[in-house]
Amino acid sequence: MFTRQQTKKIRIGNVFIGAGGPILVQSMANTATSDAAKTVEQIKRLTDAGCEIARVAVPDVKAASRLGLIKKKISLPLVADIHFDHNLALMAIDQGVDKIRINPGNIGSKEKVALIVEAAKKARIPIRVGVNAGSLKSAHSIGNGEGAYLKRAKALADAALGYTAYFESLDFFDIVVSLKASDVKTTVEAYKLYAEKKKYPLHLGITEAGSLFRGTIKSSVGLGALLYLGLGDTLRVSLTSDPVEEVKVAYQILQALDLRSTGIDIISCPTCARCEVDIVRVVNELEKKLPVLRAPGNLKKARPLKVAVMGCVVNGPGEAKEADIGIAGSKKAGVLFQNGRITASLKPKMWVPELLKLIKNELKTRS
């Protein structure tokens, strides 16, 4: 088992990150923040999906002026994402947000950053220093030659270390750090370099990762590599999609490394010429009908319930026997296993209803 890096414990509203605590899942609303009702509605959907920290963009005064109202109507800690204008950050802090995210490099001057730091200190809220390769001047001239990603990663880490040192010189230590690039190698190396020097909690993410399909893969590879190195205290999967999908993907990444649990893990065979049952339909139906898969925040126990759905009696029974609940078989009948023992024989049309019943019963006894 890998060892997680011990970082400083930071409070964000009513949750904590760092110090080896659970890696919290966050997402970002894609509604106009100035439309408080729509934003609240989306954050509530994110909450139901298991999101634990919600971020909103604050592009203008109108958006900043709605933050207090939004915060009142949600249960998650609210993070204000600010670029360019330090006055928006001051307004957001005034509105009672739980954390500010800034990229100090685009706020305009050290003095303006210092004003934000002072206000955050007074309000006792943390600041995420979010360094992004896309907006880092020192990374632009590096080009694409051999080893360029290492140079870019160093530029990112150096920038984050510089900003961290500046915050510390202002006697401010409630810091969370992210070092994002849109490519996996630069991102992983940048986080590694920073973590060798500082122990502030790390917010992980691959920026502009892409569509649901591509972004999920890119994020899984990048975030998976970082998490396996023991790095990361909170994460956001960025997808060009409904943000609820970001939350679902984040939990699956964490579950793959036994770091969090969605409560249930479905193991299913890829199917082949031996398959006599429509396994694709069975698995899709199960996933659709299991509310727990859409509400991973409800169950956070370390060991998920393992459910195996296998298409034949050649390789299927072995896997089904190993699972908590498993089924393997042919169109005549599937052999149902519970905790390694055969308990029934089921015709394919009964697989979904029977598995659902057993899964729900088991989850009830576990919760």
Q: Note the residues at the interface with ligand SF4 (CB under 6 A).
A: 269-272, 274-275, 310-312, 314-316
131: β partners: 179
- In a 10 Å sphere around its CB, with 0-12 CB exposed, 13-18 middle and 19+ buried, how is residue 237 labelled? buried
Contacts 24+ apart (CB under 8 A), 286-292: 286/352, 286/355, 286/356, 286/359, 289/352, 289/356, 290/264, 290/356, 290/359, 292/262, 292/263, 292/264, 292/363
β-partners of residue 56 are 80
Let me know: does 102 contact 74? Beta carbons within 8 Å.
Answer: no
Which C-beta is closer to ligand SF4: that of 261 or that of 268? 268
| Rounded distance between C-alpha atoms, residue 6 and residue 20, angstroms | 6
Query: Closest approach of Cβ 356 to ligand SF4, in Å?
Result: 21
Residue nearest ligand SF4, Cβ-based: 269
Least distance between ligand SF4 and beta carbon 334 (Å) = 12
- Between 82 and 269, CB nearer to ligand SF4: 269
How many C-beta neighbours within 10 Å does residue 357 have?
Answer: 10
| Of 190 and 336, CB closest to ligand SF4 | 336
Token reading at 150: 């290492």
Q: Strand ranges (DSSP E) for the chain?
A: 10-12, 15-17, 24-28, 53-57, 78-82, 99-102, 127-132, 175-180, 203-204, 234-236, 264-268, 305-310, 325-329, 334-338, 341-346
Sign of CA dihedral 32, 33, 35, 38: positive
The count of residues in the chain is: 367
Residue closer to ligand SF4 by CB (options 5, 315) is 315
Taking each helix axis from N to C terminus, what angle separates 184-197 and 212-228, rounded to the nearest 10 degrees? Answer: 30
The distance of closest approach from Cβ of residue 316 to ligand SF4 in the complex, given in angstroms and rounded to an integer, is: 4
CB of 362 to ligand SF4, least distance (A): 23
Cβ distance to ligand SF4 smaller for residue 65 or 271: 271
Cβ at position 145, least distance to ligand SF4 in Å: 44
Residue 190's nearest CA partner among 218, 210, 161 is 161
Least Å distance, CB 345 to ligand SF4, is 17
Nearer to ligand SF4, 87 or 315 (CB): 315
Please report how close the Cβ of residue 359 comes to ligand SF4 at its closest, in angstroms.
20
Please identify, using beta-carbon distances, which residue of 136 and 312 lies nearer to ligand SF4.
Answer: 312
Encoded tokens for 121: 């200190």
* Residue 317 Cβ vs ligand SF4, minimum distance, rounded to whole Å: 9
What DSSP letter does each residue of 89-138 carry, written as one string?
A: HHHHHHTT-SEEEE-GGGSS-HHHHHHHHHHHHHHT--EEEEEEGGG-HH
Residue 126 vs 326, nearer CB to ligand SF4:
326
**How far from each other are the two terminal CA atoms of the chain, in whole angstroms?**
26
Cβ closest to ligand SF4, residue 126 vs residue 348: 348
Residue for token pair 């730091």: 117
- Smallest distance, Å, CB 318 to ligand SF4? 9
Shortest distance, position 257 Cβ to ligand SF4, whole Å? 25
Decide whether 243 or 334 has the Cβ nearer to ligand SF4.
334
